[in-house]
Amino acid sequence: MMQIQRMIRSIEVTTGSPSSTPLGLSPERAGVYKVKSPARDSNSSDDSSLLLQSSSCEPSPQSSPYHSTSWSSTASNSSSGTFRPWKFPRKLDKLDVIDEVEVDYGYDVDVDDHNERVNKYLIGALGFVSLFAVFCLIVWGASRPYTPRIAVKSLTVNTFYFGQGSDYTGVPTKFLTVNCSVTMIVHNPATFFGIHVSSTPFDLFYSEIIVASGQMKKFYQPRKSQQIVSVNLEGNMVPLYGAGASFAVSDKNGRVPLRLESDIRSQGDVMGKLVRTNHHRHISCSMVVDSGINKVVKFESSCRYT
């Protein structure tokens, strides 16, 4: 027992007073030393040994590698008689910079995604418009061959009067009064659209003088159909002036040369107002009329269509 007491005293001299904690640490962090006495039933003096065990500190919020470093630093300072608390350097600046970089990068990604979506929409819209334009062009090209067919069949003379008189200024001249009608057939060969048919005035010429004129009414011609159109021409007391002498000679011979001219226009609404097809035909028919006989003048090969 005396030997044990001596060892306890030597420990107290080394570590300080029993009540004091090592290096000014709290009791929770300081090591707790226990002495285990030898067994009573042991007869050997060598069995009486001192077993010192240092139990580890209980887990606490401050137990970390940084605190262990602080403890060692404090221990080194305590040996010199001074105590300096350890201050940890702030190591979050780099993390903050990384966060800022990530925010900026995310913003750039959002802008790039937005621009990419806008570009995709524009490309899609342009592609759709291009495809639709190509489709309309194909439909328009397919509708071009379907030109309306126009055939002037006859001219029926109802009145053809040649006489002498004076114009509104009192100048004596020869006059011509004409009343006749033109019959023609309009055929629409198109298989998938109708046409709107109109014309310029139908003019009946003697030399370069219009002796009768008439206007055809605008009409709609359905697809794959035809109809007979009649236009009435009238000329009342038309002065002939210098052409009167030659007209008198032709009328005496019973062969007055006349010429019929007009322009036929057609418009087909293939796809409403988006795709339309237009055609233009010029008609020119020559004939010979006898003023003494009212008859029907047949047009077989005397008409030109351009």
Query: What is the CB-side half-sphere exposure of residue 4 using CA atoms within 13 A?
Result: 14
Q: For residue 248, is pLDDT > 60?
A: yes
Distance CA 20, CA 16 (A): 7
- On whether the CB atoms of residues 270 and 139 are closer than 8 A, the answer is yes
- Is this prediction's pTM over 0.85? no
Q: Per-residue DSSP letters for 146-205?
A: -PPEEEEEEEEEEEEEEEEEE-TTS-EEEEEEEEEEEEEEEEE--SS--EEEEEPPEEEE
pLDDT digits (tens, 9 = 90+) for 52-99: 344 444 444 444 444 444 444 444 444 444 545 555 455 545 444 444
- On whether the CB atoms of residues 203 and 213 are closer than 8 A, the answer is yes
pLDDT at 84: 54
Checking 169-173 for CB contacts under 8 A at 24+ apart, the result is 173/239, 173/240, 173/241, 173/244
Helices (H) and strands (E) in the chain, counts: 4, 13
pLDDT at 171: 87
Q: For residue 44, is pLDDT > 50?
A: no
Closest CA to 264 of 302, 225, 217, 226: 217
pLDDT digits (tens, 9 = 90+) for 181-238: 999 999 999 988 999 999 999 999 998 999 999 999 999 999 999 999 999 999 999 9
**DSSP3 helix / strand / coil % (the chain, rounded to 5):** 30, 40, 30
pLDDT digits (tens, 9 = 90+) for 158-168: 888 888 888 88
pLDDT at 2: 60
pLDDT digits (tens, 9 = 90+) for 128-148: 999 988 888 888 888 888 889
Average pLDDT over residues 6-34: 50
Closest CA to 279 of 147, 181, 186, 154: 147
- Helix residue ranges per DSSP H, the chain: 2-15, 65-79, 93-143, 244-253
pLDDT at 150: 92
